[in-house]
Amino acid sequence: MENIVVKNGENPNEIRVWHPFNNDLFWKMKSLKNAVWNKSDYTWSLPNTSSSISQLFQAFRGVAWIDLSQYKKVAKTNNSVKPVKKILELPPLTETQKTAVEEFKKHLSSKRYSENTIKTYSDALSSFLRYFHSKPIAEIENEDLIHFNNEYIIAQGLSSSFQNQIVNAVKLFFSVRQAKKLDPELVHRPRREKSLPNVLSKEEVKAILEAPTNLKHRAMLSLIYACGLRRSELLNLTFKDIHSERNLLLIKQSKGKKDRVVPISNKIIELLRAYYKAYKPKTWLFEGQNENEKYSERSIQLVLTQAVKKAKIEKPVTLHWLRHSYATHLLESGTDLRYIQELLGHSSSKTTEIYTHVSTRNLQQIRSPFDDL
């Protein structure tokens, strides 16, 4: 079994968790409560509490070894470390709050929000309302949201993305309620972290795409990279969306309920034709074991996990890395940023501009003054 190493972080209130590259381990860690991924050193941060250690043992029982040798060593020699306050357990929703959350879900559904967005917002709203368990919803004020941010989110080291989800959900929830003291217009979202997208080299992408021996698996991963697709976009495709005579792929009702077209090369079309002859899907371009059933999101992620492992790439690669790599490689080959925006389906050019920070096309031409010494 794999070894998962637990050690104390620089902050006595946190522990750091390291595991060898394995997407199954990565997604298990991501599902843990309060787990935060650190891109700088490929570790996870968790609150330094006994419940965090218990979580690890429960999540990875029979899957991986939990190595506490470094954690114990630091804990014994560092007498200055103070006991960490236990993560605050929120009370359950009251019946009134449950009704309010259900009404909120119905409102989002009527506005045609995606299932993922509805779940994210309703879960965030539930956390906020549970914190004010004994306070009527109509009495909640802007100061209460500030208090929640400071005393629950920030005090416990929860992520800024979670904070942003809370603010988005609360603003939307109270904007449709008549009797309220909280004014959504006065609520401000937290500043976003400016993290760069993860990008693979062309050599790494090639190794990943050539790794699967299964034709369907190779076709799925290749199409994601070749057209810069999101996972959901790939799984919603049908053969009617491929316009081979025009070398175009039609992507329907993607993020933001938008349609777009992207170019598709003859090389990919030939690969898809070979796949179709071998598998003969009925409804969806990529189907699971049962006819007329979409290939599952979890299964495609496992396909990538196996390909990355076979390619001997020790990075926590996700499907979205292929999309990031597609955009960056287009930019490095000289494609105009405006075209890349259209190909990715971004509403704002600012979203696409992030790739200018990871492109090496111009950076490699810069000569360091050190070389002139």
Cα–Cα distances in angstroms (integers) from residue 233 to residues 284, 300, 341, in the given order:
12, 12, 16
Residue tagged active-site, from 180, 255, 309, 310: 255
The residue type found at 6 is: V
d(CA 56, CA 41): 20
DSSP secondary structure string, 62-77? TTEEEE-HHHHHHHHH
How many C-beta atoms lie closer than 10 Å to residue 284's C-beta? 18
Asked about 230 being catalytic, the answer comes back as yes
Asked about 346 being catalytic, the answer comes back as yes
Residue tagged active-site, from 105, 130, 252, 320: 320
Residue tagged active-site, from 130, 216, 230, 252: 230
Q: Facing residues of 294 across strands?
A: 287
Asked about 260 being catalytic, the answer comes back as no
DSSP secondary structure code for residue 245 in this structure: T
d(CA 109, CA 118): 7
Sheet holding 248-251, edge to edge: 242-243, 248-251, 260-263
Asked about 282 being catalytic, the answer comes back as no
Angle, vertex CA 78, rays to CA 40 and CA 5, nearest 5: 45
How many C-beta atoms lie closer than 10 Å to residue 348's C-beta? 8
Asked about 107 being catalytic, the answer comes back as no
Residue tagged active-site, from 28, 323, 324, 329: 323
Asked about 357 being catalytic, the answer comes back as no
d(CA 227, CA 77): 54
Residues ≥6 apart with Cβ < 8 Å to 84: 12, 13, 47, 48, 49
The residue type found at 118 is: I
- Active site residues per annotation: 230, 255, 320, 323, 346, 355
